[in-house]
Structure 1
Amino acid sequence: MMTHSGKRQRLIIALGAFVVSLIATLLAVDTPPAAPASGSGGPATPSASASGPRELNIGIAYGDRLTWVSDTELAIGLDDAVNSKARWIRVDLSWNNIQPDSAKNYEWQRFDRIAKAAQDRHLEVLATIGYTPKWARRSGCGGDPSCAPAHPEAFAAFAQKAAERYAPMGVHTWEIWNEPNLPFWAPKPDPAAYTTLLKSTAASLRAADKQAYVMLGGLAAVATAQSDGYVSQFDFLNAVCELGANKVVDAIAYHPYTYPHLPSEKTDFGTAFEGISSTHDNLVGILERYGTPNLPIWLTETGAATNGPGQASDGKTTPANATHVTEDLQAAIATDTIPASAANPHVAAVFWYSDQDSGTDKDKAHRSMFYGLRRYDGTPKPALAAFGAAVAAYRDKLAAAGSSASPGH
């Protein structure tokens, strides 16, 4: 027979169990999934699925080329993205182009044209914001738009103006600078100065647009070399994470050019693609060390330069000797890039650089001019069809797996 005190004790235990159960239920219902970093808006982060392939944001990177081409050439360039079933474009939004002469005047019209043409085609825009006008550069660094701003807050103020203007046109995704671990941050890379600019700019973008999605500027895959002013992607990322840069961004941008090797190829030395998560030093390991293991990685440039010195035709050439590849090997790399990117659960996006060559035969030594899916005269290389076929095959695989979500949204 139960006493009054026993009944009271049993009632207390039952009530305690009910409260614990209720709290657990509320947590399960109300707790959102962890955000990649700051928890701002922007594109969805693809995730691995046991039922099929992952979603992946796919695009073409154009650099600054579209800023200066005719309306006809702009249409051809963007239509290449549409016809390839890529849903993104990456374009430079250069401070140097918008405010070339003073802090008082803005020349938005050239980027307005790109943003409007992309919106008309339902293409998402990744804007790479960087490059300092002469009047805003550090003293002693007056001749190069890659010079760091003398005042980071001035750059952040420009970024806020850009977000206020282009968010209504659907631009919410921002990459802060391009390859800041090279002398593209002139006169030489400076992790501390870059982190200061990144923090200020991220805050300004989000103040202007609650959906702003901010990523650390695309890191070049290089070895640290003081004589060249290079800081490796691993050394640079480690340095900026030490200063908290990983806590103010939604993603890390990276440029893993692997040619003459395919992106999926495993090597003894470790390609730039393997450096995402497989080599002894890798980007994901650094992010884990600094408390952001799930921060997505966007491959905002990758590709292969064609038809020049050191040309490789079979992927077997020693990387140090291969500065260019044949057009057929470029096509094979384009074919492999999409499945290789989708296979890595840390990769959220991949952009092929670039749409069209910017040099002619006399410029063959300058490999930066020959990454295009089209030649300088506009004729397509085999890689254009190969890239489109690879994206289409990926979309078909997603559809067959019954994916209901649309990449990039």
Structure 2
Amino acid sequence: MRTRGRRQRLLVGLVAFVVSAAVTAIAAATSTPGGSSKTFARTLSSPSPASASPSAAAQRAPLRIGLSYADTLTWMSDQELAKGLNDAVTLGASWIRVDLSWNDIQPDGPGEFEWHRFDRVVKAADARHLKVLATIGYTPQWAREASCRTDQSCPPADPAAFAAFARDAAQRYGPMGVHTWEIWNEPNLPYWAPAPDPAAYTTLLRASTRAIRSADPQAFLLLGGLAAVATDPATHYVSQTSFLEAVCRLGANKLVDAISYHPYTYPYLPSATTSFGTAFQRISSTKDNLMEILDRYGTPDLPIWITETGAPTDGPRSAADGTHIPAGASHVTESWQASIARDTIPAAAANPHVAAVFWFSDRDSGTPAQRQQRSLFYGLREYDGTAKPAFAALKQSIAAYERRAPR
């Protein structure tokens, strides 16, 4: 129980801070004086990029659709765990993404394992025919560098120790049907504390992929999910493209089966096209995009897995409602979140490079009294379990996709 609240606040809080900063920059770039934005309204109905043609999308394998829970399911009661996973089934998702935190499993030392909580998640998912994408990361205190002991986002002092844990996890969960692994979360942010380090991350990735495949030859491995941000030395952010190029230069793209990416586009629709390029556009449509880098480094067919995307519905300031961006907007209205949810599946399906998309998240982790922390409100449900309009919108969108998906 020791990590649940802190982990959730850290994970969701940093994602929202990143996206909020991007929103503020977007608003400044696109708004007319007084805070309204004609450019914003115009781009909402723009078509998908030409490179992501529907005909190309129709020729590929069906899109994998999932719900991302971070490090919440592990700590739930059996009843709450059932409710959370039943939501994925009700939505029509076939995958879940959940953290397998090293810090949760071996908090007290290398000789002690606490697998039982994650065992419950895997078994409950399997009972519902849900596939599991496990994000492996987060270092227990005993395994961190001495200079970085206060944050579970600190990388391990010895990559071989992390790789050994990864091997143990694959040995345990491969026979239980878990073969898909994401190595770390957002290593281009200070989730690799205190600052991103492409070389160190590639070293960890190389050791981990080798270890997992030694235990499970069927393993499908993803690069740690890249946050869609601009490079900012003051906050230690490295853009997704700069980080990807740096690790590709070291051979990381040859170690994995897919690239994981977190393109939060709010307050814009995922399908919107803009002059500055939304996070979805940066997959393959802008001058500086992920696929161009992968092509340049010899892996043009490496797929993109969108393992997080979504939008918060509460925060400390005003909300964008789909017609303009109020000055300082920190979140979106519930109706606009529903529009974003409805648009996410077709936008992902329209890009032939995208193989999977996961919505973040299932339920808010805060109450309205905590609206100063907008990071707590990405859920399809309120804190008390009440469904937001986005729940039905995403369900309808998934059903519509499934009716026409390639078989």
Pick the TM interval, shorter chain: 0.7 to 0.9
CA deviation profile, 1:349-382 (whole Å, cap 9, x unmatched):
0000000011112321222211001111111111
Partner letter of residue 75 of structure 1?
A
Amino acid at match of 1:78: L
Select which of 135, 138, 155 maps to 1:131: 138
Partner amino acid, structure 2, of 1:312: A
| Maintained 8 Å contact 1:262/1:315 | no
Preserved CA contact (<8 Å) 2:60 2:352: no
Match of 2:240 in 1: 233
Alignment of 1:130-169 (within 5 A): 130-169=137-176
* Matched ranges for 1:3-402 at <5 A: 55-308=62-315, 309-314=317-322, 316-317=324-325, 321-398=328-405
How many residue pairs get aligned? The number is 353
- Tell me the amino acid that sits aligned with residue 70 of structure 1: S
Report the alpha carbon displacement of residue 323 of structure 1 after superposing the two structures with TM: 2.1
Distance 1:164 1:52 in 2: 35
Matching residue's letter, 1:279? T
The change in CA–CA distance for 1:113 and 1:48 in structure 2 (over 3 A counts) is: farther
Give SS of 1:59's match.
strand
d(CA) in 1 for partners of 2:265 and 2:93? 21
| Native 8 Å contact 2:271 2:344 kept in 1 | yes
Amino acid in the other structure paired with 1:101: D
Once the two structures are superposed, residues 276-328 of structure 1 have per-residue CA deviations (whole angstroms, 9 ceiling, x without a partner) of 0011100000001101000000000000011222311115317x833210111
Distance in 1 separating the partners of 2:271 and 2:323:
12
Separation of aligned partners in 2, 1:397 and 1:327? 28
Distance 1:342 1:184, change over 3 A: same
Distance 1:302 1:315, change over 3 A: farther
1:5-27 Cα shifts (integer Å, max 9, x gaps)? xxxxxxxxxxxxxxxxxxxxxxx
Distance 2:345 2:60 in 1: 12
SS in 2 for 1:333: helix
The Cα shift of 1:121 comes to 0.5
In 2, Cα distance between equivalents of 1:261 and 1:294: 28
Which aligned segments of 4 or more residues in structure 1 are displaced greater than 4 angstroms? Answer: 47-54
In the alignment, which residue of structure 2 is the partner of 1:34? Answer: none
Contact 2:56 2:352 in 1 (8 A): no
Instruction: Tell whether the 8 Å contact from 1:260 to 1:315 is kept in structure 2 after alignment.
Output: no
Report the Cα distance in structure 2 between the residues aligned to 1:350 and 1:315, rounded to whole angstroms: 26
Q: Which SS does the other structure have where 1:240 is aligned?
A: helix
Q: TM-score, normalised by structure 1?
A: 0.84
Instruction: Decide whether the 8 Å contact of 2:57 with 2:351 is kept in 1.
Output: no
Q: 1:156-207: CA deviations, max 9, x gaps?
A: 0000000000011100000000000000000110000000000110000100
* Pair 1:51–1:114, CA change in 2 (3 A): closer
Cα distance per residue 1:109-167 (max 9 Å; x no partner): 11000000000001000000000000001111111110010000000000000000001
Point out the structure with max Rg over C-alpha: 1
Q: Hey, what's the Cα distance between the residues in 2 that align with 1:139 and 1:50?
A: 49
Q: 1:315 to 1:288 in 2, by over 3 A?
A: farther
SS across alignment from 1:301:
coil
SS at match of 1:104: coil
How far 1:54 sits from its partner (Å)? 5.2
Instruction: Tell me: CA distance 1:208–1:334, structure 2 relative to 1, closer, same or farther (3 Å).
Output: same
Contact persistence 1:373–1:380 (CA under 8 A): yes
In the alignment, is the contact (CA less than 8 A) between 1:57 and 1:88 conserved in 2? Answer: yes
Structure 1 counterpart of 2:229, one-letter code = V
- Residue 268 of structure 1 and its aligned partner are, at CA, apart by 1.2
2:213 maps to a residue whose letter is R
Asked whether the equivalents of residues 364 and 377 of structure 2 are also in contact (C-alpha less than 8 Å), the reply is yes
TM-score, normalised to structure 2, is: 0.85
Structure 2 residues without counterparts, runs of 5 or longer:
1-53
Unaligned stretches of 5+ residues in structure 1? 1-46, 405-409
Q: CA deviation at 1:50?
A: 8.0
* 8 Å contact from structure 2 (residues 260, 306) kept in 1: yes
1:15 maps to what in 2?
Answer: none
Q: CA–CA distance in 2 between the matches of 1:315 and 1:210? A: 50
CA distance in 1, matches of 2:276, 2:64: 28
